[in-house]
Amino acid sequence: EREIAGGRVVLLQRKSCAHVWESGSSSSRPERPTILFIPGGAFISDFEAADLAFLYRWVRETDALVVYVSYNFAPQSPYPAPMLRVFQTYRALREHRHDLPFVASPLVVSGLSAGGNLALSALLAPMLQHRAPAEVAEQFAVPPLMPAAILLLCPTLNLSRSPSPSRICFASDVLLPLPFLKAFASAYDQCTDHVIDPLLSPVFAADEVLRRLPPTHLQCGGLDPLLDDSVDFNTRIRRVGVPGELTIFRSLPHTYVSFPHWHAMPEVEAAMA
């Protein structure tokens, strides 16, 4: 565990790379491929223990360092606090404003479920400063550079409470039944005037904002009530020329990577490869 921008993070890396903590110094820090990971949990919790199983696999297979962000949960800490926490951590990594003995380069941002919402909202916030609450707007006045890429896993990108085909088809889903979807959206967004605010629902961001995103990849299960969020957002960003891919694993549910006992399934194995 370490601290970045005043908040807790968990750093994951290969044992063979552990020497970076001894060899780095403030004047000469090695560059390390880094993944900033924002966990899900419907804005009201996280599943850190479950996430670590697949994140350690990322570490082994990519030789990257994973920075796992902790943030406070709704309803005690509603919007914009979690998004601001993610933004502050990202800016500290991007601009090397931390006392850790490495430089995050290249830096990839990834988010799972609600974490996908927070990741994307934090990256869009400097371009949408006028939409941010007045008490935090000045935090976004000087935008950091974009990351090398974005990877969104089963992201929650539409909090407008409006029905969509996937939400209706899977209204009785075991993991995300429709009443639960509405409840966590209300816990995070406690002002209904924000229903189509792109800082809460990035799928509604304007084209001129979206086209400034780096390569953006999305993965989602075909049985996920939030499937339409990925499909709709993918359509928006490809239309404005943002490179990347949407991969749909047809027989998988929401947040399939967070269930270690499913990792041996061929389709989950393919999704994690």
d(CA 152, CA 248): 12
User: Measuring CA to CA, how many Å separate 96 from each of 25, 61, 92, 177?
Assistant: 13, 25, 6, 41
45-56: burial string, b at 16+ Cβ within 10 Å, e else = ebeeebbbebbe
In this prediction, residue 9 carries a pLDDT of: 86
User: CA–CA separation, 226 vs 79, rounded Å?
Assistant: 20
- What are the strands, taking DSSP E only, across the chain? 2-4, 7-12, 31-38, 65-69, 103-112, 149-153, 216-221, 246-249
Asked whether the predicted pLDDT for residue 175 surpasses 90, the reply is no
Inform me whether the pLDDT recorded for 262 exceeds 60.
no
Give pLDDT tens digits for 41-53. 899 988 888 888 8
What is residue 21's predicted lDDT score, i.e. its pLDDT?
Answer: 39
| Integer Cα distance of 217 and 225 in angstroms | 19
201: left (phi over 0), alpha (psi -120 to 50) or beta: beta
Q: Per residue in 118-168, pLDDT tens?
A: 999 999 999 999 888 888 888 888 778 899 999 999 999 998 877 788 777
Give the separation between CA 189 and CA 50, rounded to whole angstroms.
Answer: 26
Please list the residues that pair with 38 across neighbouring strands. Answer: 111
Judged by DSSP in three states, 107 sits in strand
Mean pLDDT of 88-109: 87
| Cα gap 240→187, rounded to integer Å | 32
**Domains assigned to the chain:** 2-272 (3.40.50.1820)
Whether residue 241 contacts residue 235, with contact meaning beta carbons closer than 8 Å, is answered with no
Half-sphere exposure for 203 (CA within 13 Å, toward CB): 22
Q: Which of 149, 151, 153 is nearest to 215 (CA)?
A: 149
Q: In 3-state terms, what secondary structure has residue 157?
A: coil
